[in-house]
Amino acid sequence: YKPSSGSTVTTGWSAFDAATAVIYIAVDLQQSVASTGTGTVQFTAGTTSATETGGTQTATVSLTGTGKLAQDVTIPISAKDGTAASSSDYSLTTTSVTFTAGTDLSTNPTKSVSFSVTNDKLLEGSEDFSLSLGSITAPGDTITAGSTTSNTVTITDDEAATLDIAATSSVT
């Protein structure tokens, strides 16, 4: 028998006489039962603003509910091009978020989804792409998708159009 975490094992011995010894092992088979969490996971907002100044920026995923998670809860994150292209305007650096076992859902824990924006020096106006939550892996817990399972990221262009008009004079 290999006791699991939460089991109680007691060992000892009892001697009736010098020739006979009885060794006993008492095992408490009442295991601690992990509490299970019930809740929803979603983006905290349906939109995120980003700037084209480059660098890493984030959107936030929240998990709300009751209880504590019995096991890790993992949610894959994907990105889909809109007018912004992953090949030239942004790259997704977080491909999943994990809320660890024991997390108290009443504290409304959050995780960041990171993406990098490329400062491309092109005058192109604002561009967008979307982030989506994938299938939730929550063994031992009841976690469902909330109402905000996608997030549209708008990248504001940092280049500005200028028009210079120069006055000229002619002499005839």
What backbone phi and psi angles, to 5 degrees, belong to 90? -155, 165
What's the rounded mean pLDDT across residues 103-124? 87
User: Taking a C-beta distance cutoff of 8 angstroms, is the pair 68, 37 a contact?
Assistant: yes
User: Taking a C-beta distance cutoff of 8 angstroms, is the pair 118, 90 a contact?
Assistant: yes
DSSP class per residue in the chain:
--PPTT-EEEEEEEEEETTEEEEEEEEE--PPPPP--EEEEEES-SEEEEETT-EEEEEEEEEEEESB-SS-EEEEEEEEESSS-TTTTEEE---EEEEPTT-BGGG--EEEEEEEE---------EEEEEEE---B-TTSEEEE-S--EEEEEEEP---------------
- Give the pLDDT of residue 56: 83
Greater model confidence, 54 or 143: 143
pLDDT tens track for 55-111: 788 888 888 888 889 999 999 999 999 999 998 899 999 899 999 999 998 888 999
pLDDT tens track for 11-50: 544 444 444 544 444 443 333 444 688 888 888 889 998 8
The residue whose two tokens read 């992990």 is 34
**Euclidean distance between CA atoms 172 and 170, whole angstroms:** 6
